[in-house]
Chains A and B, each alone.
Chain A
Amino acid sequence: MPLLWLRVALGFYGVGLLYALLALTRSSDLLSRIAVPATSLGMVFHFVSLSEAVLLSGQLTLASVHNSESLLAFMIMAFFMIVYLVYRTTSPGMVVFPSVFLLTFVAATGQQPFLSMSPGLRTGWLFAHIALIFTGYAALFLSFGASLLYLVQESSLKSKNPGRIFSRLPALEVIDEIGYRSLLLGFPFMTLGLIAGSVVAQAKFGRVDFLDPKVFLSLLMWVVYLIMVYTRWNAGWRGRRAAYLATGAFVAAVVAWAANYVSTIHRFAAS
């Protein structure tokens, strides 16, 4: 059943995807009107799917690990909705909708069977680790999306030949603010998430192996994230430079994510 609900959610996210793709070429009043309601409905089904997974496995942690892509997609959507409520703009959807669709698609097609976790894990810490890290990921992702939009808007203003997208994107400073706020919001989550992770690791292995690719890349990502927050706060870096940094942090995050498949100590499947 969770899979069915997830696929229903995927259908609704598809509307968002369509909106994002068409927004690049022409304006569609109908789509921009229904994009938010449709994806909100998608979130409802998505939530049902996630909750059912928890009920089925009987364990919060287990379910969240096995539905990691799905959970991440859900968190990103939640952030998008917050931005929408505060700024009344669906523009981040141009980046958010396709990614959410992709993540949900992966989750809805490539479901892994449940495997039991190694015993003795402190599941409370583990869940905290997962929830915090994913919130941080979602915030980082939104910030990355905002910096892409910033570049688009900036170049269209610089080119002095405002195209079609130009008229719908929010003002440069608004995009900037969305990006910066997401960044600031995400940082404590990411930091606490990593701390929670190391607590788990310590409980499991008695120490943290810094040479493990997962640990190393996660730390690297955190450092890039820190630099981003710092330069932004201190020197007001934005625009191209901020976008490069955000891209860097995002790539580091994706690589850290991918490291799950090579790491010896951190696997979504049994370890």
Chain B
Amino acid sequence: MKLQLIGVNHNSAPVEVRERLAIPEWRLAEACRQLAEHPGVEEGMILSTCNRVELIAHLKNGSGDLRAFLRDYFQLDLNQFERHLYEYREQDAIRHVFRVAASLDSMVLGEPQILGQVKEAYATARAVGAVRAQLDQLLTRAFAVAKRVRTETAVGSSAVSVASVAVELAKKIFGNLKGKQVYLVGAGKMSELAARHLLAHGCTSIFVANRTYDRAAYLAEKFDGQAIHFEELYETCDRGDIVITSTGAPHAIFRPEHGELFLSRRKNRPMFFIDIAVPRDVDPEMNKLDGIFVYDIDDLQQAVSAHVADRKKEADRAEAIINSEVERFQARIQTLDVVPTIVSLQDHLETIRQAEIDRVRGRLGPLTPDQEMAVDTLTRGIVNKIMHTPIRTLKTAAREPEAITLIDQVRRLFNLQQEEGERERKSAASKSGGGSGARG
């Protein structure tokens, strides 16, 4: 397997750089297709989230150049990005993919969203045929590893991403979330995610107010909720126990006087405002009102990072799991690596056998079908007997580290070409009706 991975993440590059390299969702499928068609690239996929942009490729003969792809795709001078790029190959690439999927490379260690994002990227690339056998294996394994890390360590246990922290805080205020109502102001992706989390924890109904009513209606329908016209925001907002705001408004849309209004309508039952908009939608002064709790995006991030310290310990255990999984995976792909050699070895001998039969047939004169079959069985039997031990040896050796040298030697002994070239030549030869292309 010739794996290569290049990318930037939150550690290697500031947001300005990640922004330049990010590929929006709607262009991702096309980008994957282009990547797979890039010279030297056999299979490829692209992971683009707010914290990372990574290209993962299985290369033909290690010849591809992923940097060239980046340069061509984004039409930019790569020199200024070079110091932010990291590159991994083979084993290191496998390890990196496993770590990313298991959320060990995340800004918030153990946050669960990244696995979903990797799965989405995989599905997108697969749908356009950019991911096939090799990367498919790698990614499928990565998902299994992520699951193992999650179940065997506590890395993902307590509150993690912003959305889960929001749920945890809501629980600190309301206790049981059963029957609580969620009110979305603005229908962004993030608020949708937070809403989904809250609903999963027992919140019942949901209201969506958005400047574009259609979008509100769409989202409300998705959650079986109720869409609200934006003009009715202040009249209806007190129905939400938990209000998630994410509008693009330049100024705060909720000010203390609104908070007082809501509280009096709610008989002072508490309200929890989750403000994920930048600039903020909720005036920070609101937090001073009795019974109103306002958390903006920074507060949530801060609460998130409080959990991080505990996770470092668990992360060490997770890393150990990753290491053993990388070894296991490598053993597996090596087993698979001998298969093409065996196939081409068999092809090679079969070609020789056929050629020899053709050659003697002239001297033997016309044969009866019985004689024909006898010759065929005889030659096939000889080839199989001779090949039996070498093939078994190859299969056993596949699990050992020396498999690669053995494969090399077999190929040299029998003068086998790389499987790709072999097949191409063979198909060309059969088309022209000629006999053998690779005589030993």
Residues on A facing B (Cβ under 8 Å): 153-154, 157-158, 160-162, 166, 170-174, 235-241
Q: State the interface size on chain B (CB cutoff 8 A).
A: 22
Q: Is the CB of A236 within 8 A of B266?
A: yes
Q: Is the CB of B290 within 8 A of A240?
A: yes
- Chain B nearest CB from A167 CB (Å) reads 9
A166 to B293, CA, bound (A): 15
Q: Is the CB of A173 within 8 A of B175?
A: yes
A19 to B359, CA, bound (A): 97
Q: Is the CB of A158 within 8 A of B269?
A: no
A84 to B169, CA, bound (A): 23
Residues on B facing A (Cβ under 8 Å): 169, 171-176, 266-270, 287-288, 290-291, 293, 295, 299, 302-303, 306
Q: Is the CB of A237 within 8 A of B299?
A: no
Whose C-beta in chain B lies nearest to the C-beta of A234?
A: B267
Whose C-beta in chain A lies nearest to the C-beta of B266?
A: A236
Report the 3 A-B pairs with minimum CB-CB distance, sorted nearest first.
Answer: A236-B267, A171-B175, A236-B268
A202 to B82, CA, bound (A): 95
Q: Tell me what chain A mostly uses at the interface: helix, strand, loop, or mixed.
A: helix
- Chain A nearest CB from B39 CB (Å) reads 53
Q: Is the CB of A158 within 8 A of B291?
A: no
Q: Is the CB of B174 within 8 A of A236?
A: no
- Chain A nearest CB from B308 CB (Å) reads 14
Pick from B174, B287, B291: contact of A239, CB below 8 A: B291
Q: Is the CB of B174 within 8 A of A162?
A: no
Q: What residues on A are CB-neighbors of B287 within 8 Å?
A: 158
Can you report 7 residue pairs joining A to B where beta carbons are below 8 Å apart? A160-B303, A162-B172, A172-B173, A172-B174, A172-B270, A235-B268, A236-B269
Q: Is the CB of B172 within 8 A of A158?
A: no
Q: What residues on B are CB-neighbors of A237 within 8 Å?
A: 268
Q: What residues on B are CB-neighbors of A173 within 8 Å?
A: 173-175, 270
Assuming the contacts A172-B174, A173-B175, asked whether A239 and B290 have C-beta atoms less than 8 A apart, the reply is: yes
A41 to B370, CA, bound (A): 99
- Chain B nearest CB from A165 CB (Å) reads 12
Q: What residues on B are CB-neighbors of A166 within 8 Å?
A: 172
Whose C-beta in chain B lies nearest to the C-beta of A167?
A: B172
Q: What residues on B are CB-neighbors of A235 within 8 Å?
A: 267-268
A160 to B301, CA, bound (A): 11
A241 to B263, CA, bound (A): 14
Q: Is the CB of B293 within 8 A of A158?
A: yes
Assuming the contacts A235-B267, A238-B268, asked whether A157 and B172 have C-beta atoms less than 8 A apart, the reply is: yes
Whose C-beta in chain B lies nearest to the C-beta of A156?
A: B172
Q: What residues on B are CB-neighbors of A170 within 8 Å?
A: 175
Q: What residues on B are CB-neighbors of A171 within 8 Å?
A: 171-176
- Chain B nearest CB from A60 CB (Å) reads 41
A171 to B201, CA, bound (A): 15
Q: What residues on A are CB-neighbors of B302 within 8 Å?
A: 160-161
Q: Is the CB of A162 within 8 A of B303?
A: yes
A216 to B174, CA, bound (A): 40
Q: Which of A160, A174, A235 has the most CB of B within 10 A?
A: A160
A173 to B293, CA, bound (A): 13
Q: Is the CB of B172 within 8 A of A172?
A: yes
Assuming the contacts A157-B169, A166-B172, A173-B175, asked whether A241 and B303 have C-beta atoms less than 8 A apart, the reply is: no
